[in-house]
């Protein structure tokens, strides 16, 4: 079995997502949480197959990508050598 990627989220991204989730009406939270769980599964197992490549940061070995599982949009960087995913932003589309 292939080792999963480690997924880390910037503190600012986590706080912003928590605030956006809390601002939603209760009936709209579950679909967001389900979409987020699906996206995180993809990030852990196949981050280079999830979403679209935006650009490479060659000096630090990251590929910056955006992935969408409606209504959630995630901007993230992936380091293939160290098997790390760093989430920069998580947005909820209304």
Residue range 45-62, pLDDT digits in tens: 999 999 999 999 999 999
Every domain of the chain and the residues it spans: 6-92
Distance set, CA 62 to CA 36, 67, 72 (Å): 22, 15, 22
pLDDT at position 2 is 79
pLDDT at position 84 is 98
pLDDT at position 49 is 97
Low-confidence ranges of the chain (pLDDT < 50): none
For the record, the structure tokens of 28 come out as: 């709209």
pLDDT at position 54 is 98
- CATH class of segment(s) 6-92: alpha beta
């Amino acid at each position: 079995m292939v080792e999963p990627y480690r997924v880390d989220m910037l503190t600012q991204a986590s706080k912003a997502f928590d605030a956006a989730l809390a601002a939603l009406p209760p009936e709209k939270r579950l679909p967001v949480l389900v979409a987020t769980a699906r996206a995180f599964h993809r990030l852990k197992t196949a981050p280079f197959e999830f979403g679209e490549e935006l650009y490479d940061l060659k000096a630090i070995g990251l590929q910056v990508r955006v992935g969408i599982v409606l209504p959630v949009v995630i901007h993230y960087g992936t380091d293939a050598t160290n098997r790390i995913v760093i989430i920069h932003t998580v947005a909820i589309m209304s």
